[in-house]
Chains A and B, each alone.
Chain A
């Protein structure tokens, strides 16, 4: 740490345009194009908001809102923006490798930045916020609550996650990102070998988003533990809630290792500590150990909620009760606990004894058992169901087939002797993309299609949805299945250049696949665009377009701010399905009560901005600014605690008016059967398919 001036180590050379002027080549053009996209994007958003005079509504209805539904939607918007960047980076990387044999068009450093940001973004700023967004929106609706346990903390979590994600965007325009991969192993990322700003961007983005994530995990766990509607016993919770509980447990206990590892790396880099350095007793193996103590639970934290989504989707679109609920609950909890006992399989080759490798290898293989239980339960749910091949169901079927391949390749990798052969090759890359795309991303997209009408009151376009599923599935297979083969042939991962001509055909297929994935991404946008354009034909104000089974479908779409006019009394696992069978799905309440809801507050937005500036100051060694921001963050939080009047009351009369208007709509709508699910007469009132209910 050296003494630096007013702007720290920030200078003209920190901007990519300086590089383009000095050495104009393809590498610099790609870097500058990326920076330009960010700048143009920001200008376009600011311009559009100003043109349509949306600053006021944006501030009042969204940025300061403590409503879990709006926070959830903001998480998902953020995730999709970041997804676009992550996919583009993936395509550029595939193009680089397809341009071989030889060096391709990018420089090694630039390629390393690409795989580092791609991994960091996809894990921390796409998968995590997308999972959280859906969970935020759904958890209170599913358990019959009016909001999460800590609405303001929820807002703060979002703020911290977004500001950390923004750091990755800033790193495109000012300076550059880490070249150390998403795992950022020292000593390579230590000050001795990597004195630039890259690893610092990574560290602070990870630390700040990690805090946000931990707070969210606590929030979800407490919400499900303490705010369930009367009668909602644990064994009546929808499967999705169970997966979010286990995911929250993983967050609460597995995020600290990441924070510890990143902060210790920061201490090494900023204060010359010796945790992971090569000299004076530092030990980088401690880092590998800490990172994967987090890293392994992390993948289950992402995939379990996706399992939950599939469980809901399979049950609804087979018009059956979920098969083997108890076994699914047990399997979920088993996976949650087992996932804490397998972290070493990420570094089988680090040099520990065969006994240790064997223990962790066996523990890893054990996870295949509860996962297998789940796959069979889902298949049994489909068995003799009245299956509709709607978009979420198609994602689910693609998942069932492709995920099994990914899971089995995981069991192969769990064998330490095999791992010695294929570790650090593209086989591994193929494996984890094979679990993360069909597992997590398809699940999230299925959930997006499934719950979209609940959030916005109109259905997504079915035709474009199917095209999107097709493109994702084909694109995934073309891109990643060839990587299994080149991996086995010995091609290392993360190589910007290669020479063996026998890799070439596979690289070409993979880049074609990457382009198909890019089309899939565009198709997501087109689907959204077409759906918004045609929204008047697909409105479902009654709220139950899919003849679904759980509580969130028993209220209007979009739901009122307070979710439930009357907190429901839960009597069954699939409470809404049971109510529809009994014929009292839409009861008229005897009396209404005043409802207390959290007031809007700007604290989340404040902390978002302040923490963003704080991170930037730390990365660029602008110490006075970092100190100022630390003080301001502390001060704004303390001052916020002086505001005791944090709730507002919605009068019973208003609730009654809104609820009765909706009940009138329910009674005046015609119920549709499942054959007309996608037709415009589907207003969200389902005619239960009695024969199929078993």
Chain B
């Protein structure tokens, strides 16, 4: 019985850590945006990186995706999906951006 409540505490802590981390990252994003203004050089890049960090925090602490052997299939699936997503999104942005430049729709 004792061991179970120990496990329970540990797993609850995991969720709380994930929540705290995400909270912190969200605060950071909004603070940066308010303090420096979103147009400032480098601000948007840092917002993107913080967003990425939060994705990873939630994947690990909420969705329990990690490098353990038993959850390798899930990790593989996430990684493969990311690969396909990157091909699709970057390809689309590349192609459509290039078309926009060549058709002089930039800058508006």
Binding site for B on A (CB under 8 A): 225, 249, 253, 257, 283, 285-286, 289-290, 293, 340-341, 343-344, 350-353, 356
Contacts and interface: CB of A to CB of B under 8 A. Distances in A.
Given A257-B88, A340-B84, A340-B88, A356 B95 contact: yes
B62 interface: no
15 contacts: A253-B84, A257-B88, A285-B96, A285-B99, A290-B92, A293-B91, A341-B91, A343-B91, A344-B91, A344-B95, A351-B102, A352-B95, A352-B98, A352-B99, A353-B98
Interface in B52-108: 73, 80-81, 84, 87-88, 91-92, 94-96, 98-99, 102-103
Given A340-B87, A341-B87, A352-B98, A253 B92 contact: no
Contacts of A352: 95, 98-99, 102
A484 B62 CA distance: 57
A350 B87 CA distance: 20
Contact of A350 (B84, B88, B94, B99): B99
A344 B102 CA distance: 17
Nearest to B85: A253
A331 to B, nearest CB: 18
Contacts of B99: 285, 350-352
Interface residues of A: mostly helix, strand, loop or mixed? helix
Contacts of A285: 96, 99
Nearest to B103: A351
Contacts of A341: 87, 91
Contacts of B91: 293, 341, 343-344
Given A225-B73, A340-B87, A356 B98 contact: yes
B33 to A, nearest CB: 26
Interface residues of B, number: 15
B97 to A, nearest CB: 9
9 A-B pairs with least C-beta separation = A253-B84, A352-B98, A340-B87, A353-B98, A352-B99, A352-B95, A289-B92, A285-B99, A340-B84
B81 A356 contact: no
Given A225-B73, A351-B103, A352-B102, A289 B95 contact: yes
A225 B98 CA distance: 40
B102 A353 contact: yes
A150 B84 CA distance: 25
Contacts, number: 37
B13 to A, nearest CB: 31
Nearest to A341: B87
Contacts of B96: 283, 285-286, 289
Contacts of B103: 351
A118 B27 CA distance: 56
Contacts of B102: 351-353
B81 A253 contact: yes
Contacts of B88: 257, 293, 340
Contacts of A290: 92
A356 B94 contact: yes
A257 B103 CA distance: 25
A350 B91 CA distance: 15
A351 B94 CA distance: 13
Given A253-B84, A285-B99, A352-B102, 5 more contacts: A249-B80, A289-B92, A293-B92, A351-B103, A352-B98
Contacts of B80: 249
A356 B93 CA distance: 12
Nearest to A221: B77
Q: Which of B96, B98, B99 has the most CB of A within 10 A?
A: B99
A581 to B, nearest CB: 34
Contacts of B98: 352-353, 356
A293 B90 CA distance: 12
Contacts of B95: 289, 344, 352, 356
A352 B103 CA distance: 9
Nearest to A226: B73
A203 B99 CA distance: 27
Contacts of A225: 73
A71 B84 CA distance: 31
Contacts of B94: 356
A608 B22 CA distance: 43
A257 B81 CA distance: 14
A286 B103 CA distance: 14
A419 to B, nearest CB: 16
A289 B102 CA distance: 16
A181 B76 CA distance: 38
Contacts of B87: 340-341
A378 B34 CA distance: 64
Contacts of A286: 96
Contacts of A356: 94-95, 98
B100 to A, nearest CB: 8
B3 to A, nearest CB: 30
A524 to B, nearest CB: 38
A283 B88 CA distance: 18
Contacts of A340: 84, 87-88
Nearest to B87: A340
A249 B76 CA distance: 13
Q: Which of B87, B91, B103 has the most CB of A within 10 A?
A: B91
Contacts of A350: 99
Contacts of A253: 81, 84
Q: Which of A249, A286, A293, A352 has the most CB of B within 10 A?
A: A352
Contacts of A351: 99, 102-103
Contacts of B81: 253
A174 B82 CA distance: 44
A291 to B, nearest CB: 12
Q: Which of B88, B94, B98, B102 has the most CB of A within 10 A?
A: B88
A315 B92 CA distance: 42
B73 to A, nearest CB: 7
A281 B98 CA distance: 17
Contacts of B84: 253, 340
A431 B102 CA distance: 31
B46 to A, nearest CB: 30
A342 B77 CA distance: 22
Q: Which of B81, B95, B103 has the most CB of A within 10 A?
A: B95
A689 to B, nearest CB: 40
A272 B98 CA distance: 27
A225 B92 CA distance: 31
A249 B96 CA distance: 26
Interface string B9-38: 000000000000000000000000000000
A225 B80 CA distance: 15
A245 to B, nearest CB: 12
B32 to A, nearest CB: 30
